[in-house]
């Protein structure tokens, strides 16, 4: 809206004047920088580093252009601009002070910063373990901006957003000392970390966050989580948060169904999921997990019973299915339960998202809510058919 108003104001002003005076030139400059700020959002996902610095540069140009444009105008215009700039400056100072407090802790050996304890790479997806300098309070769905303080790959000049996919609480509290983030390798810095993970271990890090907005899943009696591939890293914190909340009866959720389509079940993910399943306080009817590994993804050395049977149980709560998920069947099963409301979330490739969205709409039920998580994969799966278990 601000961009449209600025462009309209500039257009009308140009029609009223005969030539380009100094104030008009700065007005055009300010409008152009405002337009650049709006368009730069389109580049955020693909070229994050360029977006970051171009956004800051355009902001500086906008401030200078606006000031020079109103400098010779009425006093009220200058006062309003100074007030706006002052508010921006105060919010920036507050944000930086918050970062310093969360990142720095004073001990007997001086100032401590967060650091990278370990980087594990699974299927070209590094999982970074970060040890915080002071405990944080983490909510499911939170994310951080990570800057590694090392000259390698110009890391100290870059900051990237990552979802907090797992965390470890300080014993006896709801505060977190260790968090895990998954790096989805793209071009640039994330690709460098994937190739040279050992060079970044034990390096100091500067974190901004946590940020995030709750989907209020705890208000629903049943929560169905669909994921494919690395989309599981966005669903795991939601699952953990609901399980933790159920221990103290802080959530309304009485059933969690996780459906995950993948080709590989990594050791780190097994460890995290197993830690939830091994909890003696976990209600036996709360959590149910179905892991779908399509038949053509099975390794040639698979044992015979995996080839003849498509559904295999791993304990009471986990099943492995050698087929793609039947989304319609899963959703219809959960709607049969007499619970107040159902939440359906998805994080995965385009075909899965489209199918989940379509099946939710076909239910035509007022008590079903659909949430498409921010982290999504663009890969389109080619499997047909499907099973539910």
Spatial contact of 133 and 101, defined as CB atoms under 8 Å apart: no
CA–CA separation, 63 and 85 (whole Å): 8
Summarised one tens digit per residue, pLDDT across range 94-112 is 999 999 999 998 877 778 8
Q: Which domains does the chain have, with CATH numbers?
A: 2-73 (no CATH), 110-211 (2.40.30.10), 217-372 (3.40.50.80)
User: At residue 297, does pLDDT exceed 70?
Assistant: no
Q: Higher confidence at residue 301 or residue 36? A: 36
User: At residue 302, does pLDDT exceed 50?
Assistant: no
| pTM as predicted | 0.78
In DSSP terms, which residues pair with 337 in a beta bridge? none
User: At residue 194, does pLDDT exceed 50?
Assistant: yes
Angle between helical axes of 48-70 and 22-40 (0-180°, round to 10) = 150
Mean pLDDT of the chain: 81
In 10 A of CB 366, how many CB atoms? 7
For residue 320, what are its two tokens?
């492995």
Summarised one tens digit per residue, pLDDT across range 120-146 is 877 677 889 999 998 898 888 899 999
Which residue's structure tokens are 């169904």? 257
User: At residue 318, does pLDDT exceed 80?
Assistant: yes
For the chain, how many helices (H) and strands (E)? Answer: 10, 15
Spatial contact of 143 and 164, defined as CB atoms under 8 Å apart: yes
User: At residue 333, does pLDDT exceed 80?
Assistant: yes
pLDDT over 90, % of the chain: 22
Summarised one tens digit per residue, pLDDT across range 234-292 is 999 999 999 988 888 888 899 999 999 988 777 788 888 888 888 878 887 889 999 99
Q: Residue 376: what pLDDT?
A: 77
Q: Higher confidence at residue 19 or residue 32? A: 32
């Amino acid at each position: 809206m601000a961009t449209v108003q600025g462009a309209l104001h500039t257009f009308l002003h140009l029609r009223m004047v005969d030539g380009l005076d100094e104030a008009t030139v700065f007005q055009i400059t300010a409008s152009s920088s405002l337009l650049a700020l709006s368009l730069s959002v389109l580049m955020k996902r693909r070229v994050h580093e360029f977006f970051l610095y171009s956004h800051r540069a355009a902001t500086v140009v906008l401030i200078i252009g606006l000031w020079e444009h109103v400098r010779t105008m009425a006093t009220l215009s200058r006062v309003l601009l100074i007030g706006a700039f002052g508010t921006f400056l105060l919010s920036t100072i507050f944000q930086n002070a918050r970062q310093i407090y969360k990142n720095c802790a004073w001990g007997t050996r001086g100032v401590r910063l967060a650091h990278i304890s370990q980087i594990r790479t699974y299927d070209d997806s590094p999982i970074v373990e970060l040890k915080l300098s002071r405990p944080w309070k983490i909510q499911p769905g939170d994310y951080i901006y990570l800057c590694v303080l090392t000259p390698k790959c110009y890391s100290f000049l870059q900051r990237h957003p990552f979802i907090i996919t797992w965390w470890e609480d300080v014993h006896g509290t709801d505060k977190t000392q260790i968090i895990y983030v998954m790096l989805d390798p793209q071009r640039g810095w994330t690709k460098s970390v994937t190739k040279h993970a050992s060079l970044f271990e034990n390096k100091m890090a500067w974190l901004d966050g946590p940020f995030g907005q709750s989907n209020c899943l705890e208000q629903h009696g049943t929560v169905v989580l669909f994921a494919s591939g690395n989309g599981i890293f966005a669903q795991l914190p939601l699952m953990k948060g609901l399980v933790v909340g159920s221990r103290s009866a802080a959530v309304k959720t009485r059933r969690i169904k996780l459906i995950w389509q993948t080709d590989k079940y990594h050791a780190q993910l097994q460890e995290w999921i197993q830690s939830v399943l091994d909890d003696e306080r976990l209600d036996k009817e709360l959590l149910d997990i179905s892991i779908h590994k399509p038949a053509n993804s099975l390794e040639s050395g698979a044992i015979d019973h995996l080839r003849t049977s498509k559904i295999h149980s791993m304990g009471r709560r986990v099943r492995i299915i050698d087929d793609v998920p039947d989304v319609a069947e899963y959703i219809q099963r959960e709607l049969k339960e007499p619970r107040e409301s159902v939440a359906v979330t998805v994080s995965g490739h385009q075909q899965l998202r489209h199918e989940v969205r379509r099946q939710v709409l076909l239910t035509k039920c007022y008590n079903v809510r659909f949430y498409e998580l921010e982290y999504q994969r663009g890969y389109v799966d080619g499997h047909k058919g499907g099973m539910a278990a």
